Amino acid sequence: MSAASSSSTIVFITGAVVTSASWDNWKAFFEDQGYTCYAPDWPHKQAPAAELRRHHPHSPIAHNRLADVLRVYTDFIAQLPAKPLVIGHSFGGLIVQLLLQQDAVAAGVAIASAPPLGVVVANWSLVRSVLPMLGLFSSLNTTFLPTFAQWQDAIANGLPLADQRKYYDALAAPESKKTIRGALSFAARVDFRRPHAPLLFLAGGADRLMPAALNRANHRRYRHAASVTDYQELPGRSHALLGQSTWREDAALVQRWLAALS
């Protein structure tokens, strides 16, 4: 039996511009399946989203870097009795890949993942969505917060208006431009030829922020033939797939993939 198939602990890894509350449904689902689940907060993001927004743009969040976020998870995992399973969304998918590089986890699932350094595709919706988050013409000492219009277009496209507003109010949080830019630095580098724990990529067919083409390109870069690296595209899913009406179906797919590892 592999470490992945015997592990019963899941660490959920949150993406940028949201709080760990984005995992509430998935956490409850996997706990009902018998897993022990955790969703650690990013630095300075322990409060509800509405409270975090009140401190924008002068929030301490602005000083977070990719290394600070990664350290939250490496430190948390280090105190667990065994290697956990990790499931990350968006920027959290990049963290999943970096944790696999450290041989710190039993298996990883990268959902609508931000890519490691050097994985690029020509896609206008990707460029249009990500550029504001980088804050190229604004101070790195202030946070980025997506407007509701940006949220609708880049993250929650395809969701009913009521759900777009509900999830924005409940989840949207200021983010560090330094953290986002970290994805373009050597801190986000992956050795794609290195052996790694099983890894599943899930991509949303309607995702504008991290489009399926980018996830496919990321998946194809992995070169170690003896390591499990799977890919599946989910039609109609936007970047906000964790909260779409199909979320339970998608969580069940992940659970089956984890259960099948041997």
pLDDT in tens, 194-247: 999 999 999 999 999 999 999 999 999 999 999 999 999 999 999 999 999 999
According to the model, what pLDDT value does residue 261 have? 94
> Taking a C-beta distance cutoff of 8 angstroms, is the pair 110, 121 a contact?
no
CA distance 121 to 130: 13
Question: In this structure, which amino acid lies at residue 65?
Answer: R
pLDDT over 70 at 6, yes or no: no
Residue 140 tokens read as: 């790195």
pLDDT average, residue stretch 19-43? 98
Residue 109 in this model has a pLDDT that exceeds 70: yes
Q: Is the pLDDT of residue 1 over 60?
A: no
pLDDT at position 137 is: 84
pLDDT band at 153 (very low <50, low <70, confident <90, very high): very high
Q: What is the mean pLDDT of the chain?
A: 96
| pLDDT for residue 106 | 98
**Is pLDDT at 255 greater than 90 in this prediction?**
yes
Angle, to 10 degrees, between the axis of helix 66-78 and the axis of helix 91-101? 60
Can you give the pLDDT at residue 225?
A: 95
pLDDT of residue 127: 85
Give all domains of the chain, ordered by start, each with its CATH number: 3-260 (3.40.50.1820)
Q: Specify the higher pLDDT residue, 119 or 126.
A: 119
d(CA 6, CA 108) in angstroms, rounded, equals 14
103 φψ region: left (φ > 0), alpha (ψ -120 to 50), beta (else) = left
The mean pLDDT of 164-178, rounded to a whole number, is: 98
Asked whether the predicted pLDDT for residue 5 surpasses 70, the reply is no
Q: Can you give the pTM of this predicted structure? A: 0.96
Q: Between 148 and 6, whose confidence is greater? A: 148
CB 69, CB 95: distance < 8 Å: yes
Contacts of 114 (CB under 8 A, 6+ apart): 15, 16, 90, 91, 93, 94, 183, 210
pLDDT at 80 over 60: yes
Q: Residue 72: its pLDDT value, please?
A: 98
What φ, ψ does residue 235 adopt, rounded to 5°?
-60, 140
Residue 135 has pLDDT above 90, yes or no: no
pLDDT of residue 124: 81
